[in-house]
Copies of this chain bind each other. A is one copy, B any other.
Amino acid sequence: MEFIINQAEWSKAVSEVSRAVSGKATNPILTGIKIEAKQNSLNLVGSNNDMVIEKLISTSEKLEIIHTGSIVVSAKHLNELIKKLPNDMHVMLEDNLSVKIKSNEIITTLSGFDAGEYPVLPEIDHSDGFQLTSEELKNIVKHTVFATSKNETKPVLTGVHFTLQNNSLICVATNSQRLSFIKHSLHTDLNESFILPSIALSEVGKLYNGYSTEIDVFIKKSTIVFKSNNLVVYSRLIDGKYPSTSSLIPEESKTTLIVNTKDLLNAINRASIFASESRNNNVKTQLYDDSKIIVSSNSSSIGQIEETMKVKNVSGDKELSITFDGNYMKDALGIIDQEEIMLCFNGSFKPIVLIPRGKTSNIQLISPVRA
């Protein structure tokens, strides 16, 4: 194996595949990156037990392949080294277990592993697939990952539930106390649903951050593959049955308010200073004087805060008092770009429904907590 490669190009690629590599992998070869020089490209692979990232760099004025071949070297050290090297690199296999990297007057030798011992990549079945743009994918990540459960006792809730149906993709995340739902239109004949680990989805979102591209998505048994021009991400899917959530979103509501998203977020942020001392970050909202809400919280030891906010529109029942987890409300409001939001209530013991005004493709639910 021997090639000459541009510093910036290689550094970016190595740092991308390194995202899948853990320094703590029990199998030492998985702490490494597989480097494979092919006739017309350099392939890099990083993986852990849950996901694999494969990056391809085609030959160009930035990459010249002199001899094909392969090796696996420590992701951490390769990543650190390449970032700090000043110039184009001349990379040569010394033997199957070490590689020499030369940049200007700097000569480095890195020990490695035999690439033949690196796990083989899963095969991709190109039949069952659909397409997303990187923008759509980032939007799904933004609207779902935060709402998944951090608790491993119900593994399915640590993932995001994808449903393909009637030319649409519905993604749902919930931790039982809050839920976020987002719907995208797309062309697909598939009728399928699966649960993607939130960590993998989040990583895929980060990988495509800064790219603007079409992504092919394939599903095969327990694996999902995201594939674009020069980047392929494989992730395992979570086994199990996701709870039915479609019936949770009420069709009607007793009281509907329209408020300014940012004003409400600021009020919740302030109320949370005291709420953080209570068990559920209790923040209380009350309708007042038919056209205002009072957002408040209190802690017996520290103090209390009470804020009166104008509401743009109130319809339905004018009696309303509900207590919820301020952190969940902060998260929910934080992902909304729309200036105004519709808050729908069905009494003190039913979830609050949040719908960005003019964008019904995203719906969020927050359950009340005991006052």
Contacts and interface: CB of A to CB of B under 8 A. Distances in A.
Contact of A305 (B106, B306, B308): B106
A335 to B, nearest CB: 20
A84 B270 contact: yes
Interface in A263-309: 266-267, 269-270, 273-274, 301-309
B77 A309 contact: no
Interface of A: 74, 77, 80-81, 84-86, 98, 105-111, 266-267, 269-270, 273-274, 301-309
Contact of A110 (B81, B84, B303, B306): B303
Given A105-B309, A108-B305, 14 more contacts: A74-B302, A84-B266, A84-B270, A84-B273, A85-B270, A98-B303, A105-B307, A106-B305, A107-B305, A107-B306, A108-B303, A108-B304, A109-B305, A110-B303
Given A77-B273, A273-B77, A304 B84 contact: no
B266 A86 contact: yes
B303 A270 contact: no
Contacts of A74: 302
A308 B105 CA distance: 6
Given A111-B302, A302-B77, A307 B106 contact: yes
15 contacts: A77-B302, A77-B303, A80-B273, A81-B273, A84-B266, A98-B303, A105-B307, A105-B308, A106-B306, A106-B307, A107-B306, A108-B304, A109-B303, A109-B304, A110-B303
Specify how many copies of this chain sit in the oligomer. Answer: 2
A13 to B, nearest CB: 19
A297 to B, nearest CB: 10
